[in-house]
């Protein structure tokens, strides 16, 4: 039987949204969350440690916290994407500041791309995404059929 190269996954009506911000962008993300609070209330929210705590404390939105980014939080979020438990990422990154955990950040960006997860890395993109009609409906997207990919690779090595 010939397996397809891609499989279709569905992002449900209620999204699981990861909220992440570098230190210099935390205030901006909190402000964005406050501005979009009514929409965000409809979804499950999680984030890296300090960011999650600050959003909850300052907006009242319930945000499940993982470790802070430098302590593995970005990798935890990436693992949840792989497990199919995160559908959407808002990551206000600071392009002008060096980050000690930059390889982890790049790995998170890469895994979001591999799994075709919507990801905003600045306020403008986040505004477009949160106001999209897709926020309140299911969305089908295609990703690589990883089982077939592994099988094909194993057969060629």
What is the separation of C-alpha 85 from the centre of its chain, rounded to a whole number of angstroms? 10
Distance CA 105, CA 93 (A): 9
Q: How many CB atoms lie within 10 A of CB 30?
A: 20
Residue 74 falls in the annotated catalytic set: yes
H helix intervals, the chain: 26-35, 37-40, 49-59, 73-82, 102-114, 123-130, 146-156
Set 23, 74, 94, 116: catalytic member: 74
Q: Which residues are catalytic?
A: 74
């Amino acid at each position: 039987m010939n397996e397809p190269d891609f499989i279709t996954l569905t992002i449900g009506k209620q999204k699981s949204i990861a909220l992440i911000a570098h230190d210099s962008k935390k205030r901006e993300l909190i402000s964005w969350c406050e501005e979009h609070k009514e929409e965000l209330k409809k979804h499950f929210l999680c984030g890296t440690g300090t960011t999650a705590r600050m959003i909850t404390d300052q907006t009242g939105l319930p945000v499940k916290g993982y470790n802070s980014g430098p302590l593995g939080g970005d990798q935890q979020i990436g693992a949840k994407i792989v497990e199919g438990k995160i559908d959407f990422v808002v990551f206000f990154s600071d392009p002008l500041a060096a980050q000690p955990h930059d390889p982890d950040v790049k790995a998170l960006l890469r895994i979001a791309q591999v799994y075709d997860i919507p990801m905003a890395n600045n306020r403008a993109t986040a505004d477009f995404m949160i106001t999209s009609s897709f926020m309140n409906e299911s969305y089908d997207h295609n990703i690589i059929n990883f089982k077939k990919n592994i099988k094909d690779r194993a057969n060629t090595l």
